[in-house]
A and B are shown apart, each in its own frame.
Chain A
């Protein structure tokens, strides 16, 4: 697929990297010259300096043949306009916008954006792919609350491998939701369920208890 990404910040960078790894043709449009240079040095010449909401810029990078445009700048209005220009001027089949303000989700859909993501499964999947060794990954923030759904990986070298959950000092504010084992087989985190190497534990936790949870599940 040919994918245009508007915005070369952290989200855009990881997204690009993951998409390139999957073998897609990707081009990033970024306003900031220094960010462009950094991306081009890291990922090869795939970043073009310019305004991703400008039709001339989008024409130049061949948006007309793009299968998808993802607008992931930090500003909702820029992401909306980039998607709309792509959709209505270049007939891009699928447009995806990152949104900061969750209230904009319905608005964006009404205004023609195919997918509006506030805390995004798609983007986070890619970020996660980039950091497979990261012990604790955020999957989703619960808006308005100080809670997050996180994933903790159980790697073979941990002292907690083989221990049942009741022996672990999981903070009472956190809740283990599910254990996803190897081959994507999942089981319930009952008190007697033992951790196995390769498990991924999905949990709900307040932000300030994240470190405690990680230590409980992975050892200090």
Chain B
């Protein structure tokens, strides 16, 4: 087991922002393993980022449906690990600040998120959310980057 007792990786409250990628599943499983030892709490959170053409509190049915499916799915992933995880659906203009706010509000000691391989203008890109979270997180952050097939 990778996270043996000699490591100091002990987390009691973990926030897992999910985006609907296959790597989310692994991030959730990893969170379950890290939390189990401490019987910690895990929240999976999905942020609907609303474009400025709509009011921030607009009810976008298709987005809500998609978000709920993603959260339901990661909940079953946690259940398979015999872990009860809470899920949260949030809506804002930008995911980064919302994830950080949520981490502060919940008083988490770890944000664990999956990174998917993306290219922008032919270059590898982390996007906007991950750098923002790394820069502004009030706690430790673990990124899980899935091997690219």
Contacts and interface: CB of A to CB of B under 8 A. Distances in A.
A65 B55 contact: yes
Given A44-B97, A45-B93, A45-B97, A25 B55 contact: yes
Nearest to B94: A45
A102 B94 CA distance: 40
Interface string A153-164: 000000000000
Which of B51, B52, B93 counts the most chain A CB atoms within 10 A?
Answer: B52
Interface residues of B, number: 10
A62 B53 contact: yes
Contacts of B54: 62, 65
B142 interface: no
19 contacts: A2-B55, A27-B52, A45-B93, A45-B94, A45-B96, A48-B52, A59-B53, A60-B51, A60-B52, A60-B53, A61-B52, A61-B53, A62-B51, A62-B53, A62-B54, A64-B53, A65-B53, A65-B54, A65-B55
Interface of B: 51-56, 93-94, 96-97
Given A59-B53, A62-B53, A65-B55, 10 more contacts: A25-B56, A27-B52, A44-B97, A45-B94, A45-B96, A46-B93, A60-B52, A61-B53, A62-B51, A65-B53
